[in-house]
Amino acid sequence: MRGFGSQFLLQMKLFIRQKDELFWNLAFPLFFIVLYGLIYRDIIWDDFGMRAIEYMLPGIIVMAVMVNGIMSSATSFVEERGKGIYRRLSLTPVKRQTIIGAQILHRYIIILIQTIILLAIGILAFDISIKGNYFYFWIILTLGAVCFLSIGFALASIIRSVRSATPLCMIVFFVFLFLGGIFFPNSIMPRFLVVIANGLPSTHMGDALRAVIIDGLGLGSVWIALAAMGAWIVISLAVSIIFFRWE
């Protein structure tokens, strides 16, 4: 337990020292909610029965989680491995599950901070109301956070060099972003893309959040989305552990 706590504190210190990570994880999502809020504040999507900004807030939350889970986590892990940090840790009794677990906890706390900021701006600045249960919202957010963090660590375990980390993570990120219904409903896409989009975790997390935020539904109505994210977690964590390399 002491080793886990030390590893967690180490990750938090490294995050605070990296100004670029602070920007991408906190300022970048903030920019999007303010930008789209100013553009779409009074626009109503009659076909979908909601304001455009109400649809986009859950999507921007998903985007923020993906920035943390896929972009920041995977690239940082690969860079730290390239610097030999984990090779030195391999000479200690620290287990790989401890390293991955501490990374997930520290990133999860950042995700909570991201989400609180986005919700506060959405509610106070753009008059968005949360119709559903906040506990249900937290459950979906937590499952989605673990899902994308697991995907990020799976990518980090597979990626072999620092040079290839950013482009490969960006490919995955943008596929999830543009096919996941973040900024527009998947129903307006061509049918063959809808088939792909329906299997993505970004689609399921966004749909589940909208069901709670906009429609006020419970977890029972989004159990398929929760199960899909759970499947992504299991597969991604298995890949992370199997292909984990110290150097």
- pLDDT in 10s for each residue of the chain, 247 residues: 566 777 777 767 767 777 677 777 778 888 888 888 888 877 888 777 788 888 999 999 999 999 998 988 888 878 877 777 767 766 666 676 777 678 778 889 999 999 999 999 999 989 888 899 999 999 999 999 999 999 998 998 898 888 888 899 999 999 999 999 888 888 888 888 899 999 999 999 999 999 999 999 999 999 999 999 999 999 998 998 888 776 6
Phi-psi region of 41 (alpha: psi -120 to 50; beta: other; left: phi over 0): alpha
Closest CA to 229 of 194, 187, 203, 201: 201
Nearest to 173 by CA among 39, 76, 81, 69: 69
Beta strands in the chain (DSSP E): 44-45, 50-51
Can you give the residue ranges of every domain in the chain?
2-242
- Cα dist from 156 to 164, 168, 169, 174, 200, whole Å: 10, 10, 9, 17, 19
The answer, as to whether pTM is greater than 0.85, is yes
Contact (CB, 8 A) for 43 and 54: no
Spatial separation of the C-alpha atoms in residues 28 and 69, rounded to whole Å: 14
